[in-house]
Structure 1
Amino acid sequence: MRQVLRFRFLIVWSLILTLLTLAGNAGCFPASVWGAETSDFSDGDGRMETLPAAAVPAEVMAPSVILMEASSGQVICEKNADERRSPASVTKVMTLILIFDALDAGKIRLEDEVVTSARAKAMGGSQVFLEEGEVQTVETLIKCIVIASGNDASVAMAEYLAGTEEEFVRQMNERAKGLGMTNTHFVDCCGLTEDPEHLTTARDIAVMARELITRYPQIQNYSTIWMENITHVTKQGTKEFGLANTNKLLKMATDFRVTGLKTGSTSRAKYCLAATAEKDGVELIAAIMAAPDYKTRFSDARILLNYGYATCKLYRDTQMPELPELSVKGGKEKTVPLRYEEEFSYLGMNGEDFSAVEKTLQIPEEAQAPLEEDEKIGVIRYELNGTVLGEVGILTDAQVERAGYIDSLKMTVERFLFF
């Protein structure tokens, strides 16, 4: 036994002397010590094989419409969805996104008090008749925007968040750019403008509506309110004012649950609507632009939503395979935990049998340090009868630093002492 220990001791010291010599000659360990070559990994182009959008039902009258599934962003059907048109008050969907962004970031609170400026008071069109100097909470102003489409409330919130409406509009356009809304340009925060440069498309409306309802589902707490009173407290005294929802789809008989979202109309834009609904866990978004009258925009939305729920079936993987810890070469840690980038969902429109879906994990056997947290390391791919439905990225769930000289020496000693 003593001879074995003595033999191991001599081996360890020989290795230490060798490593010290290498370090002194090269200033660092050679790549061959660390096994610098890593397993090649390719996840392909990473694109989902998206089904082409169908034509809209013939009964739809508006010249520009689109129907989208919210969780996947899959377009179900469309007509002239990329024609640039005036959105009227549907503009306020982006205004609401920025408000909820600020709430989410902790920059403002629902209880914060906002003072109405003379400019906000002077806004025409749909309004809740705020007076200059009147104080309302952020939550009350959200209700005024969502339920009654208050232009005065929109400007009051824009000024509260950004100092001026102009700066707020700049932020709106920046946010739109980040969402890939390439055919959108906002000029004001409420859509009252007749400026010919204030434009968007049905597709871009669906994109921003999707961002609002999926990122901030609490919007339904406001967009489903049919009627509610607010209280004006001004120099003239205190009085109640009734808010009535402009989205009449909420009161129409449907086979699905209407959850919102925003109406709009001006002489230039005609009648617009971003309608959202839910049924059996599937959320759909219908965007209507330039309908000839207010009844048509609601009937078009109902036709589109009925078509969507009759056609679509959503597959959502709620039991994604458990991920192993990945071996790390040359790191301070020997393994790194992994996580999925997001949940996988896919919208089928051809009566697919999703019980036959096959899942394939594509991750390397090991990775080379250093590794950043949230670094993409692989994918899980979903296939049905040989067709790729899509994939979800697999990310590192921790950072792993490259092992230094002392770390390497320690690991080498441990490996030979306890083999």
Structure 2
Amino acid sequence: MKTRKRLLWLMAWVLFFSLAFPTTAWGAVVDVEADSYVLMDADSGKVLLAKNEHKRLPPASMTKLMTLILAMEDLYKGKVDLKEKVVASENAWKLGGSQIYLEPGEEMTFEDMVIAIAVGSANDACVAVAEHLDGSHEEFVKRMNAKAKELRLKDTHFVNAYGLPDPDHYSSAYDLALMARYALCYPKLLEFTSIKEYNLRQGEFKLYNTNKLLWHYPGTDGFKTGWTNEAKFCLVSTAKRNGLRLICVVMASPQKGGNFRDSMKLFNYGFAKYAYRSFFAPQSQCGLVSVGKGTNDRVEAICTQEVGASCLKGEEKNITYKRSLVDYIDAPVKKGQKLGEIKVYNSGRLVKTVDLVAYRDVERCGIWKEITKAMSKIFCL
């Protein structure tokens, strides 16, 4: 009977600690005060640590990550130009919270407006950009929710583009990590969120990035802080060291600065336990393909993204790759045309597939060019 009681007490204590503290396969405990968080491997999307990751909470200004995503999508599609003028409306002017104090009718470039969002967390700039891209703030918010659905964010709904509180405005740590992973598709977004200081209005108004990890945690280059009384202290961030990129989201950290302290603890855990083995950087040449009937005899095959994978430290040798590439293709060849792929494995298990594509166009040559090429080959023989 005593043995049974001791066993029950032991099981109760184990259950208590498993609920109270996040643990890992290593048995490690990370002391994080945030109500909800996620640490994710950016390359694979694998969650390395988490607590209440699907809990719906107010995201505050982390909302602006989706605003920036849509702005970058339109930029990369050519729907807007960085030097294009954006005119502030009265709706933007009258908005409260963090702002750059836009006046009705004031003009700024699209680039300055986006940087004001990324660096200064400007609510008024969010409205100005939203209206410029979609005609109204309301239409832009519809697009935000459509994008959330496209990314399969199950615990996210937006009411505005800037993050001021509303009962129907919420997200989760996991959803924000997925947003951050998608945001990495746009290098310009990462460039903007890594700016520490920026001068607006010919230096009359200076912005300081609200993400203090940029100063205090090496490798950090994104994304957005968040704070309201309801949301408490929040941060969605990313850092990269020795090829390993991690994404961290903390929500509802109770103490001022706690969002930064919690994030650093989670990042420390990730960089201590995991490594990244890289074989080819993005856009690297990974082979040559012979081209028939073309203006060139060969075309370079490049990888569309980094070829490599993350793993536990000490197990890098388990990461391998296999390349498959066509030997020959007839012209015309279009830039970006798929020519093969590289498969990356971890201990024999497929973890990633990267397309190999043509680096440039190769036009089909005319009949006289073909004859000339054929004759030159004959005489060379």
- TM-score tier by shorter-chain length is 0.7 to 0.9
The aligned residue for residue 373 of structure 2 is none
Whether contact under 8 Å (2:234, 2:253) holds in the other structure is yes
Query: CA contact under 8 A between 1:185 and 1:199: conserved in structure 2?
Result: yes
Q: What is the CA-CA distance between 1:101 and the residue it aligns to? A: 1.3
Question: What is residue 14 of structure 1 aligned with on the other side?
Answer: none
Q: 1:351 to 1:110 in 2, by over 3 A?
A: same
The equivalent of 2:316 in structure 1 is: 353
Given the superposition, is the C-alpha separation of residues 185 and 72 from structure 1 closer, same or farther in structure 2, using an over 3 Å criterion? same
Match of 1:20 in 2: none
- Map 1:11-410; keep pairs closer than 5 Å: 57-196=29-168, 198-217=169-188, 219-226=190-197, 228-231=198-201, 240-252=204-216, 254=217, 256-318=218-280, 342-354=305-317, 357-360=319-322, 380-392=342-354
Amino acid at match of 1:195: P
Cα shift at 1:209: 1.5
For each residue in 1:226-261, what CA deviation from the matched residue of structure 2 results, as whole angstroms up to 9, or x when unmatched?
A: 3x33229xxxxxx92232222222333x4x232122
With normalisation by structure 1, the TM-score equals: 0.68
Partner of 2:120: helix, strand, or coil? coil
**SS at structure 1 position matched to 2:265:** helix
Instruction: Please state whether the residue corresponding to 2:280 is helix, strand or coil.
Output: coil
Aligned residues: 341
- Which structure has more relative contact order (CA 8 Å, sep 6+)? It is 1
Q: Which secondary structure does the structure 2 equivalent of 1:152 belong to? A: helix
Aligned pair in 2 of structure 1 residues 379, 55: CA closer, same or farther (>3 Å)? Answer: farther
Q: For each residue in 1:126-157, what CA deviation from the matched residue of structure 2 results, as whole angstroms up to 9, or x when unmatched?
A: 11111111111112212211122110111011
Instruction: Give the AA of the match of 1:213.
Output: L
Larger radius of gyration: 1
* Range that drifts further, 198-207 or 216-225: 216-225
Could you tell me how far apart the structure 1 residues matched to 2:357 and 2:192 are?
A: 34
CA gap of 1:103–1:389, structure 2 versus 1, over 3 A, is closer
Identity percentage of aligned residues: 36
Structure 1 stretches of 4+ moved >6 Å:
52-56, 323-326, 336-339, 362-367, 372-378, 394-398
Local SS of the residue matching 2:97: coil
Structure-2 separation of matches of 1:56 and 1:294: 26
C-alpha distance in 2 between matches for 1:109 and 1:115: 14
Question: C-alpha deviations, 1:47-106, integer Å up to 9, x for none?
Answer: xxxxx9888843111021111232333322222211121101000011011111111122
- For the Cα contact (< 8 Å) 1:68–1:286, is it kept in 2? yes
Secondary structure of residue in 2 paired with 1:359: strand
Q: Could you say what the CA RMSD is over the residues aligned between the two structures, in angstroms?
A: 4.0
Judge conservation of contact 1:67–1:304 (CA < 8 Å) in 2: yes
- State whether residues 54 and 76 of structure 1, in contact with CA within 8 Å, keep that contact through their aligned partners in structure 2: no
Distance 1:131 1:363, change over 3 A: closer
Higher mean displacement: 200-209 or 358-367: 358-367
Unaligned runs of 5+ in 2: 1-23, 291-297, 361-381
Structure 2 letter corresponding to 1:190: Y
In the alignment, which residue of structure 2 is the partner of 1:30? none
Paired with 2:54 and 2:223, the residues of 1 have a C-alpha distance of 21
Change (3 A) 1:158 1:56: farther
State how far apart, in whole Å, the 1-side matches of 2:28 and 2:164 are. 29
CA contact under 8 A between 2:30 and 2:265: conserved in structure 1? no
Amino acid at match of 2:50: E
The alpha carbon displacement at 1:222 in A equals 4.6
Shift of the 325–82 alpha-carbon distance from structure 1 to 2, 3 Å rule, reads same
Give the unaligned 5+ runs of structure 1: 1-51, 233-238, 327-335, 399-419
Which SS does the other structure have where 2:204 is aligned? strand
Q: CA deviation at 1:288?
A: 0.7
Q: How many angstroms apart in 1 are the aligned matches of 2:223 and 2:304?
A: 28
SS in 2 for 1:348: strand
Is the CA contact (8 Å cut-off) linking 2:340 and 2:355 kept in structure 1?
A: yes
CA distance in 1, matches of 2:156, 2:28: 23
CA contact (8 A) 1:126 1:149 kept: yes
- In structure 2, what is the equivalent of residue 236 of structure 1? none
How many angstroms apart in 1 are the aligned matches of 2:166 and 2:133? 24
CA contact (8 A) 1:74 1:347 kept: no
Give the conservation status (yes or no) of the 8 Å contact 1:173–1:186: yes
Q: Distance in 2 between matches of 1:53 and 1:132?
A: 56
